[in-house]
Chain A
Amino acid sequence: MKTVEIVERIEGEAKLNCSWDNNVISDARIDFLNFRGFEFILEGKAPLDALVYTPRICGICGQAHLKATVDALENIYENINEKLEVTPKAKLLREIGLNIEIIDSHIKWFYMFILPDIIKLKQNDLGIYQPLKGSRWLGASKTASETIKSLAILGGQWPHTSYMIPGGVVTDPTLLDLSSMMNYIDTAVMFFEKSVAGVSFDKYLDFDSRDDLNILSGDMKYFTNLAFENSFQKIGTSHNRFIALGESSLFKTGKIRQRAINKLDLSKVREFTEQTFTIEDRANPKKHTWSKAVCYDNNFYETGPLARAMIGNKPFIKELHKSFKDSVFTRVMARMDELAHLLDNTKSLIKQVDISEESYIKPKINLKDIDSAKATSVVEACRGSLYHDIEIEKGKIKKYDVITPTVWNLGPSHKEQKGIAQKAIIGSKSLDIAKIVLRSFDVCSVCTTH
């Protein structure tokens, strides 16, 4: 038996094709059928205009795209031996901005995208978690909108600001600004303590064993109970391989196959298109999705908060992984755990900003005067590793390639290997469960196909 299901309530839409055997999904294929052509749009544009375009690839992770673009443009300077001087202040303000966006995304993902589906498995009345109406849903939405104010202080607005530019940032916050930012982050810390984890923030940050699950009392506890009732600790397992391309003060670069390796060779990151439509070939029956497949050294790796926790040695999640592997349960817990660490890290980064430093140091060379250069950048976005690759010729963008986290997790199979989410879905006993497995990766179709 075969079924096709359209998956809504992700960012955009995906189509899930399942084959069934004895009421269990025996094979799955995920199709992303929409394409907006950002890489084509960027061709021929002035390099700085990419700072305006790439954040618009995605309304929820635009700052990750902005940071990837600014890093790629600064790497262009480095590759022509004109390395730019960027002050610690500017670097901090960029990292803070990106962190805040991930915080916003994680809160929305848990309450708007994951919880309603899981609760619905058991009951129709979602109670306080009811979208648009429930007090907790509204509380989460309020927390996200309060938190994002701290990014608006830097960027003037969110979504869609381009406050990072080669050489620094456009903004010059005062101490009062930084203080307000801390206040907004504290709103999220309070929400985390009262509602998400139900334990004091400091106590949560010390979590390092499976037994700490028993201390939880908030929505993470509620989720844990529902997860165990539905065996989410056993479903959604994939290749159990992890990768994080980018690094920051919180995230470490590396991969784990059998053992952890912290040095990556970016030339081993390759995209494959056997199953991917192209502009010229979009009616080919052998092809079924606009998403490419991406591998590191010819293998699929999961990217995202679980991968970051594994590579960054986050004790609580590593302990959960020891018991429950790369399951739906561990994946969801990793994202919420990361929320706590991001809040803690962001507050400490804000404290480190020295407002007496320059925000911006002007590059000696204009990107429009560069005859020919290439560069790559990697950053950690909400959903995992984001890769940008740019080529400039005669002062204009000749080629721009973007590999988003969702391509790592949700791309099609390659040769004999199943894609990460594809493999995770196989074995699900119902479409509702399959959709939850899919959602555990934080699906964004707009990013996947861009």
Chain B
Amino acid sequence: MTNNKKPTVVWFQAITCNGNTHSLLSANSSRLELFLNSFDLIYHPSLTIDKSLNEILESKDEIDFLLVEGAISKNSDFFTISDETTNVLLNKLTSKAKYLVAVGSCASYGGVHAKFEQNDNVVGLEESLDKKSTKNLKHEIINLTGCPVHPEWIIQTLFTLNNFGKMAIDEEGRPKELYSTLAHHGCTRNEYFEWKIEGAWGEKEGCLFYDQGCRGPMTHSSCNKILWNDVNSKTRAGMPCIGCTETDFPRDNMLETKKNIGIPFEVPTGISKRAYLSITGVAKTFTIDRLNKKLMD
């Protein structure tokens, strides 16, 4: 650690459930402590006590990293913070910032809150920013999608931007290193997927793609590479991936697989349906005792 001034971080909460805040607080504690030592988190509405949001807004100081949790709206009837809309506050804060990071799916594209149709103006950062506000940004907006986003992805992104000033991002604004592979990668149920052995709720065995609605093979995320809370992932535990890092989340009927004559309606990303069906047909001709048995009796 050098004596250089630590980069400042402001965490702004807009329309949110605070899930990303609690995700960050649930990070590996050594990593969280290193992050808090290496950056100066000068404002978080629930955690810090030295400065108010108004003081941040009134200050002439630049913000190195502006992190935003929650969706944004221009509608003051449903949501304001300190009597301002989240849209106005976001634009004011962004005009001071060097890097802007959307923390979670709501900040990235509206997420769950955009489903509240009676408020017809719930969107993510990109859609709510004026051109004028973004002129000081040194980088495109980084979208860390996920409901919530994995805490380690936040920490890695901030350290990478701070050390190298840039990150490769995909067409959704997500860091490629975190979102180029699928949730399927690293899933402990992959062998069952390969041999088309269907899973069931409450079992260690079987793949959840066929019936339980698992989106692992279609969802860009590293949930199974960088484990949650250091110990697990949803698909490892037995819960299907619900695709919360993709822009179509939340979808309808998330806990079942949409099928057509018994065949999953959507097949893994990048594979033609015909190829998928051929492979499935071949795989199903094998009967592998080891995989059809209970792992433990």
Which residues of A come within 8 Å of B, CB atoms?
A: 6, 8-13, 33-38, 40-41, 45-46, 48-49, 51-53, 56-60, 62, 90, 104, 108, 112-113, 116-117, 120, 126, 131-133, 138, 141-142, 144-146, 148-149, 151-163, 165, 167-172, 174, 180, 279, 282-283, 358-360, 362, 446
Contact = CB atoms under 8 A, between A and B. Distances in A.
Contacts of A34: 15, 78-81
B52 to A, nearest CB: 7
A151 B78 CA distance: 34
Interface stretch (B162-170, B246-254, B284-292): B246-254
B26 A144 contact: yes
18 contacts: A9-B47, A33-B80, A41-B115, A57-B17, A108-B25, A120-B49, A145-B25, A153-B232, A156-B232, A156-B234, A157-B229, A157-B233, A159-B22, A163-B238, A163-B239, A172-B202, A172-B204, A446-B16
Given A132-B48, A148-B229, A170-B237, A13 B26 contact: no
A362 B45 CA distance: 44
Interface stretch (B29-37, B127-135, B268-276): B29-37
B184 interface: no
A152 B46 contact: no
A156 to B, nearest CB: 3
Nearest to B105: A56
Nearest to A8: B45
Given A112-B47, A141-B25, A49 B17 contact: no
Given A108-B25, A156-B234, A162 B47 contact: no
A159 B36 contact: no
CB-CB nearest 5 A-B residue pairs:
A359-B202, A360-B202, A59-B19, A156-B234, A156-B237
A62 B19 contact: yes
A171 B148 contact: no
Nearest to B33: A138
Given A145-B27, A145-B29, A51 B238 contact: no
Interface residues of B, number: 69
Contacts of A160: 19, 147-148, 244
B226 to A, nearest CB: 11
B112 A145 contact: no
Given A145-B28, A359-B202, A162 B148 contact: no
Contacts of B18: 11-12, 58-60, 446
Interface centre among B13, B53, B115, B117 (most CB of A within 10 A): B115
A85 to B, nearest CB: 13
A120 B252 CA distance: 48
Contact of B250 (A40, A49, A120, A165): A49
Given A159-B26, A362-B200, 6 more contacts: A41-B116, A56-B147, A58-B19, A59-B17, A156-B228, A360-B200
Q: Quick one: which of A36, A37, A160 has the most chain B CB within 10 A?
A: A36
Most buried by B among A34, A138, A159: A159
Interface in B77-110: 77-82
A133 B50 CA distance: 12
B48 A149 contact: no
A352 B270 CA distance: 46
Nearest to A65: B17
Contacts of A360: 200-203
Given A45-B252, A112-B47, A152-B228, A169 B19 contact: no
Contacts of B58: none
B112 A359 contact: no
Contacts of B245: none
Interface in B106-124: 112-113, 115-119
B252 A46 contact: yes
B228 A171 contact: no
A24 to B, nearest CB: 25
Contact of A359 (B47, B203, B252): B203
B77 A157 contact: no
A58 B16 CA distance: 8
A60 B228 CA distance: 16
A168 B202 contact: yes
Contact of A11 (B23, B46, B79): B46
Interface string B116-160: 111100000000000000000000000000011000000000000
B50 to A, nearest CB: 9
Contact of A165 (B13, B201, B204): B201
Central interface residue in B22, B26, B212, by most chain A CB within 10 Å: B22
Contacts of B48: 131-132
B201 A167 contact: yes
Interface in B193-225: 200-204, 212, 223
A155 to B, nearest CB: 6
Given A112-B47, A138-B29, A162-B255, A170 B238 contact: yes
Contact of A172 (B13, B28, B113, B203): B203
B257 interface: no
A446 B228 CA distance: 24
